[in-house]
Amino acid sequence: MDGQVVRKVVIAGGGTAGWLAAAALSKQLGGLLDITLVESDEIGTIGVGESTIPTVRAFHSLLGIDEQDFMRATQSSFKLGIVFDDWSRVGDHYLHSFGVLGKSTWMADFHHFWLQARAEGFGGEIGDYCFELQAAKAGKFATGENSQINYAYHLDATLYARFLRARSEADGVKRVEGKIARVAQDAETGFIQSLVLESGQIVPGDLFIDCTGFRALLIEQTLQTGYEDWGHWLTTNGAYAVQTESVGPAVPYTRAIAHQAGWRWRIPLQHRVGNGLVFSSDHMADEDAKALLLDQIEGEPLFDPRLIRYRTGARRKVWNRNCIALGLASGFIEPLESTSIHLIMIAVTRLMQSFPFNGFDEALIDRYNQLSRTELEGVRDFVILHYCLTERDDSAFWQRCRTMELPESLVRRIALFRENAQAYQASDELFRVDSWVQVMLGQRIEPRGYHHLARLMPPGQLRQALGDLKTGISGAVAKMPSHQDFLQRYCATAA
């Protein structure tokens, strides 16, 4: 410990973001740090981040979390992807799965072979060649020690925070109950010195992690870091959320169903269903959004829908002086592709890799901010993709989406796929080639050209290869249990 400058870590706020940070730091660096989390039972959390992506499993592995224990504690179900209804046209339907499409080569990805087959009059749907996609469509699921299936979870965010809290406190994290009345700063440097609670208690620290949600009490209200608004690209700014009783077996996918001014979600858990409706207040009144949600849900609501206001965008710096913002305090991309929990996890991972043990070096901080910004912009572009590729013109909302000016980074990516069927994942990007391909094809992009490697195969050989792939996947899916049956055996909890 001799010479260590940064040792006391203070996390402001609980919820998913706060307790994820506490759990990870205490598990991996607990022997080097003194970690305190400050939260108030009187302050509610957003608590609707109930859908995840497969990176959650790697993070849980870092924390030594047993999957079955976690799923029982959070009443989780499995997730193989997201079904999109009515996005490009009313009546359209496609599934963005977590799986790999077919078999690719170093020279050309699988979808180029599929495009060649389609040009020759066979090949079927590209989803025929994805195991996870076919399992999701069939409502099947199974995993085990040697399973290669790629999946994530639907979870109860409130129970998840409770689960992480128990692990964190067992690893030495100190929880302080109370509301933050004031943030004390050094008069010369502006660095945060302590949190002053309404009770008068002072919580000093070296590094502060802002998990105060949209309030951004430390990073914005105190340090005035600034916020870049992305509402000109992602115009939705409100959501109603409500939980309902289950009315049928849980399916292994999230549903995202477009409506005239946004979209609504449906997330099945073991014991209930999470529902929400995302909308643009410029195109739909609050009372109309609430009424539409209540009209479309299945099952009895468990409470009155809650309205959540938000502003899509990014904090200009997520690390400013001795404060790092996590979760909603750092920025917000609407929940369409379930990235919120991932962005918390990758930010915490990045912090552990770049922890400022020796002090707050500007080069270290700049690098952290650069990596965070690049990843967030990639997520932003992927979410915009779903809106801008629409062919819908049945409402002012969708007309605006299809004609809006796009980020140059996204313009180039769409053009590359439209002209040459080329898709890519850069080293600092979250979404894989298969994800870009599934969404761009699902949103009705018809590539004008593609790689001609498949022309070197005789048509009969290509047909046989694709047929074998499809048959193998169909056979494997047929042998799987239903998702609901597997849940009951693997991790069922009492309702």
CB 278 within 8 Å of CB 261: no
* Calpha distance 318→354 (Å, rounded): 14
| Catalytic residue chosen out of the listed positions 8, 27, 79, 479 | 79
* Calpha distance 354→359 (Å, rounded): 11
Q: What pLDDT was estimated at residue 185?
A: 97
Residue 154, token pair as written in the block: 């639907």
- Its pTM surpasses 0.75: yes
* Calpha distance 288→393 (Å, rounded): 20
By CB neighbour count within 10 A (0-12 exposed, 13-18 middle, 19+ buried), where does 55 fall?
Answer: middle
* Domains of the chain and CATH, by start: 8-50+156-230+312-360 (3.50.50.60), 82-140+238-308+383-495 (3.50.50.60)
Helix (H), strand (E) at residue 294: helix 286-296
Relative to beta strand 8-12, strand 207-210 is parallel
CB 395 within 8 Å of CB 283: yes
Q: By C-alpha distance, which of 279, 235, 273 is closest to 255? A: 273
Residue 365, token pair as written in the block: 């901080």
Residue 476 per-residue DSSP state: H
* Calpha distance 468→295 (Å, rounded): 45
Known catalytic residue at 79: yes
Residue 213, token pair as written in the block: 């949600």
* Calpha distance 310→332 (Å, rounded): 8
pLDDT digits (tens), the chain, 495 positions: 345 689 999 999 999 999 999 999 999 999 999 999 999 987 766 656 689 999 999 999 999 999 999 999 999 999 999 999 999 999 999 999 999 999 999 999 999 999 999 999 999 999 999 999 999 999 999 998 888 999 999 999 999 999 999 999 999 999 999 999 999 999 999 999 999 999 999 999 999 999 999 999 999 999 999 999 999 999 999 999 999 999 999 999 999 999 999 999 999 999 999 999 999 999 999 999 999 999 999 999 999 999 999 999 999 999 999 999 999 999 999 999 999 999 999 999 999 999 999 999 999 999 999 999 999 999 999 999 999 999 999 999 999 999 999 999 999 999 999 999 999 998 889 999 999 999 999 999 999 999 999 999 998 999 999 999 999 999 999 999 999 999 999 997 655
* Calpha distance 169→154 (Å, rounded): 25
By CB neighbour count within 10 A (0-12 exposed, 13-18 middle, 19+ buried), where does 395 fall?
Answer: middle
Q: What pLDDT was estimated at residue 427?
A: 86
CB 312 within 8 Å of CB 332: yes
Q: What pLDDT was estimated at residue 44?
A: 65
